[in-house]
Structure 1
Amino acid sequence: MDRAQKREFVDSLATVFAETSMIVVTRNDGLTVADVTALRVRMRAAGAQYKVAKNRLAHIALEGTKFDGLVPLMKGPTALAWSHDPVAVAKAAVEFAKTNEKFVLVGGALGTQMLDASGVRALAELPSLDQLRGKLLGLIQAPATRIAGVLQAPAGQLARVFAAYAKANGAEDSAEAA
């Protein structure tokens, strides 16, 4: 990389660090091109990005960001994964690490909170943002459905009373007419 490419890379990483909420630091000793491609596909499917970064350039990009605590984790051949949904990137990284022993979770950061590898694994066990939204929506809709049922029940009962009263009056009217 020439100097201009390095500056562009640092700027792009700094932009990523400013916009994202979760970064996972990994060590990829001996991953094949096919393994990295499979990992990138899995990350993209989860809405995450994965990039191998030179540690020195990553250190420069991390300076002054909320993720500057990641600098000590970046030793050896490291790569970064990030996403706006913290659980999605953690799940994708943990699932890939289970199937490939050459891919090692080093740690990560959720905002200013630094995580070790076990913290990233614990985060991966949580439901994703979409799953949480679905559960929340279900919880919100359940009382509304019950309220609608309760409100409809008296109206239905009132309609049945009126119908019964109308039948009774109709029977009395026909008896008086005879």
Structure 2
Amino acid sequence: MNRTKKSELIKSTHSALKCADVLIITHHAHLKVKEIDDLRSKIRSVGGYYKVIKNRLARLALLGTTYMNLSKFFIGPTSLTISKNPIAAIKVIVEFANKNDKITIIAGGIGKQVLNANEIYALAKTPSIEESRKNIVSILQNVNRKTVTIIGAPASKITRVLRFHSTSDS
């Protein structure tokens, strides 16, 4: 890769990192092109991107971003997952790592918060924003149903009481 292409790669990675809400650093070993393409496609579908990059270039791209404190993790065959949708991207990379032992999650960051691999795996269990919205809607619908049931209950009891009294007077 010539200097111009390296410079363009650093700039594009830097601008992606400046806009990103999450960065996940992984090591990859002997991933096949088809596997990398599959992972890239899955990450792209949640609004992120996966990049295999040389450590020196990655460290240069980190300069001036909130992820500068992650430069110590760039050792070995490194790849990056960068996204504006933290939970979705984390879920994709964790699911891929669970199914494929050729990729290992090293560390990551959400803003200035450094995450170790265990924290990333824990975040993967967090419901996505869409799942959270569905849960909230479901809860609100259940509250409405229960409220109607509670409000309707006294009226039915009054009706039963009136029926009982009208039959006992006869």
User: What TM-score do you get using the length of structure 1 for normalisation?
Assistant: 0.77
The corresponding residue for 1:170 is none
Name which of structure 1's ranges 65-74 and 127-136 shifts more when overlaid on structure 2. Answer: 127-136
In the alignment, structure 1 segments of 5+ residues that lack a partner are 158-178
What are the within-5 Å matches in structure 2 for residues 26-45 of structure 1?
Answer: 26-45=26-45
Secondary structure in structure 2 of the residue aligned to 1:43: helix
Identity %: 33
**In 1: Cα distance, 2:12 partner to 2:90 partner:** 22
Number of corresponding residues: 156
Alignment map for 1:92-171 (pairs within 5 Å):
92-143=92-143, 149=148
> Quick one: distance in 1 between partners of 2:59 and 2:18?
14
Please give the alpha-carbon distance, in whole angstroms, between the structure 2 residues aligned to 1:69 and 1:102.
26
Q: Deviations over 1:50-107 (max 9, x none)?
A: 1111111111111121111110111111000022221111111111111111111111
SS of alignment partner, residue 66 of structure 2: coil
CA RMSD across the alignment: 2.3
Can you give the 5+ residue segments of structure 2 that lack an aligned partner in the other structure?
157-170
TM-score, length-scaled by structure 2: 0.80
Aligned to 2:161: none
Report the CA distance between 1:30 and its aligned residue. Answer: 1.0
Give the equivalent residue in structure 1 for 2:23.
Answer: 23
Separation in 1 of the partners of 2:16 and 2:137?
Answer: 30
